[in-house]
């Protein structure tokens, strides 16, 4: 590419921002099966909008299998570079915690606020416009470049699994859905439910998703005055409401559950302390407490490449049945079977039965992998950061869906992670820099 390429990149800044605003305005939270679409009307709208944006930029597009996925492609050749992203988002959570409407994006102080700006609409759009800049500069690709648009990443990955059943597999690729410089290891992701029949009068429901630390839960059961006194004693913030008590927590992604405060756990600890019990309440209060690593069950469970096991109680539902929904991130060299065996034994002691909901095997590539070496070289050259090395992550990206793929950006070292939290936002200057890095990376990977 010539010395004037920065001019082509700068020309994409405003179109990129406008396209991102259009996508964020679509509340593409999974609403499974509604209106005849696999994951709901709004997810389908986001997919169609992304395909329209790509088509307007000069890509060949496909709306895949009734809305399970889509893709957009440019270039020619036998080999294919895949760029893997998703258009679904997690629910916004408690709207009062947002300073603005999560689906009416507003730019302030150089940041664009809205659900999906970081995860993953912003990075996906930045990658698209990186290719647009290359096309405008007259670059000829020696491989096809295919953007694969997922629609079910935040739940069960049925989108990418359907793509793999029907479509061509990329030769190599990356997912712009994590951090720079790049991710060479992703922990195993186990989602599960612990269940039993409810043999008490307790009724309780709270949380929004497996992979989000719940930032609040509402309690309207018995012994509210005693509960409030215990919460005061424990130092757990709460607020009286008309019909009950709202226990406060702090939202965080399940891959960094230690950075959140789990409102469900705090409520169960306090309820158990005043004698309000059930199998689920007792399990959470006695086996987990506020430990994001579930050390009582698993011991010191960690490895050198990827660090500690993480354990998040994302939802609880106590009605006719008791059900706890859990997200666990398992170190890359630790056996899933070993983890399940220990968890089943601990749950059984409380009368709870283990039921697997989803499992994503870990990703673990050698740092000598040519894709990793190419991406790292480009990052060091154009980011201004010449020292950061590949990292391991607890998050799960589409990179693990295919061989020879890694997660690559968009957040820079030290940049605040706001995905899955209130006031999710993208620093536009950083997103434009990520676009530049993606452009040079795509150029190098298609040589």
- The answer to whether the beta carbons of residues 45 and 58 sit under 8 Å apart is no
Phi first, then psi, for residue 71 (nearest 5°) are: -145, 160
- Residue 216's Cβ-side half-sphere holds a number of Cα atoms within 13 Å equal to 17
Q: Of the candidates 314, 129, 301, 142, which has an alpha carbon nearest to the alpha carbon of residue 215?
A: 314
Catalytic site positions? 88, 153
Give the chain as a 3 state SS string.
CCCCHHHHHHCCHHHHHHHHHHHHCCCCECCCCHHHCCCCHHHHHHHHHHHHHHHHCCCEEEEEHHHCEEEEEECCCCCEEEEEEECCECCCCCHHHCCCCCCCCEEECCEEECCCCCCCHHHHHHHHHHHHHHHHCCCCCCCEEEEEEECCCCCCCHHHHHHHHHCCCCCEEEECCEECCCEEEECEEEEEEEEEECCCCCCEEEECCCCEECCEEEECCCCHHHHHHHHHHHCCCEEECCCCEEEECECEEHHHHHHCECHHHHHHHHHHHCCCCCHHHHHHHHHHCCCCCCHHHHCCCEECCCEECEEEEEEEEECCEEEEEEEEEECCCCCHHHHHHHHHHHHHCCCCEEEEEEEECCEECCCCCHHHHHHHHHHHHHHCCCCCCCEEECCCCHHHHCCCEEECCEECCCCCCCCCCCCCEEEHHHHHHHHHHHHHHHHHHCC
Sign of the CA dihedral running 235, 237, 241, 246 = negative
Q: Is 304 exposed, middle or buried (0-12, 13-18, 19+ CB in 10 A)?
A: exposed
- The answer to whether the beta carbons of residues 191 and 358 sit under 8 Å apart is yes
């Amino acid at each position: 590419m010539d010395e004037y390429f920065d001019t082509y990149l700068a020309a994409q800044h405003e179109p990129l921002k406008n396209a991102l605003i259009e996508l964020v305005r679509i509340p593409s939270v999974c609403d499974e099966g509604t209106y005849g679409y696999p994951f709901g009307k709004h997810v389908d709208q986001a997919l169609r909008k992304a395909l329209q944006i790509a088509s307007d930029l000069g890509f060949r597009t496909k709306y895949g299998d009734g809305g399970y996925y889509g893709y957009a492609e440019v270039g020619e050749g036998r080999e294919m570079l895949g760029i893997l992203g998703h258009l679904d988002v997690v629910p916004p959570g408690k709207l009062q915690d947002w300073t603005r409407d999560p689906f009416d994006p507003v730019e302030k102080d150089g940041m664009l606020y809205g659900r999906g700006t970081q995860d993953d609409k912003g990075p996906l759009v930045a990658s698209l416009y990186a290719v647009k800049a290359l096309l405008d500069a007259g670059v000829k690709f020696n491989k096809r470049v295919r953007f694969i648009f997922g629609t079910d990443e935040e739940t069960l990955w049925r989108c990418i699994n359907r793509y793999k059943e029907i479509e061509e597999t990329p030769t190599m690729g990356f997912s712009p859905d994590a951090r720079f410089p790049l991710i060479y290891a992703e922990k195993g992701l186990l989602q599960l439910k612990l269940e039993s029949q409810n043999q008490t009068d307790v009724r309780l429901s709270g949380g929004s998703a497996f992979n989000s630390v719940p930032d609040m839960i509402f309690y309207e059961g018995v012994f509210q005055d005693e509960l409030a006194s215990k919460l005061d004693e424990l130092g757990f913030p709460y607020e009286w409401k008309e019909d009950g008590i709202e226990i406060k927590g702090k939202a965080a992604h399940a891959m960094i559950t230690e950075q959140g405060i789990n409102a469900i756990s705090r409520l169960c600890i306090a309820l158990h302390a005043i004698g309000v019990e059930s199998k689920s309440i007792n399990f959470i209060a006695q086996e987990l407490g506020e430990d994001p690593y579930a050390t009582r069950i698993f011991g010191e469970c960690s490895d050198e490449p990827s660090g500690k096991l993480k354990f998040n109680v994302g939802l609880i539902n106590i009605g006719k049945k008791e059900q706890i929904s859990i997200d666990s991130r398992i170190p890359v060299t630790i056996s899933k079977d070993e983890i399940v065996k220990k968890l089943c034994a601990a749950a059984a002691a409380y009368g709870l039965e283990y039921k697997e909901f989803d499992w994503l095997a870990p990703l673990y590539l050698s740092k000598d992998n040519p894709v990793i070496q190419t991406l790292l070289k480009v990052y060091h050259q154009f980011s201004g950061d010449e020292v950061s090395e590949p990292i391991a992550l607890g998050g799960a990206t589409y990179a693990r869906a295919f061989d020879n793929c890694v997660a690559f950006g968009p957040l820079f070292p030290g940049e605040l992670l706001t995905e899955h939290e209130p006031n999710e936002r993208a620093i536009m200057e950083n997103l434009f820099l990520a676009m530049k890095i993606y452009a040079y990376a795509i150029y190098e990977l298609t040589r």
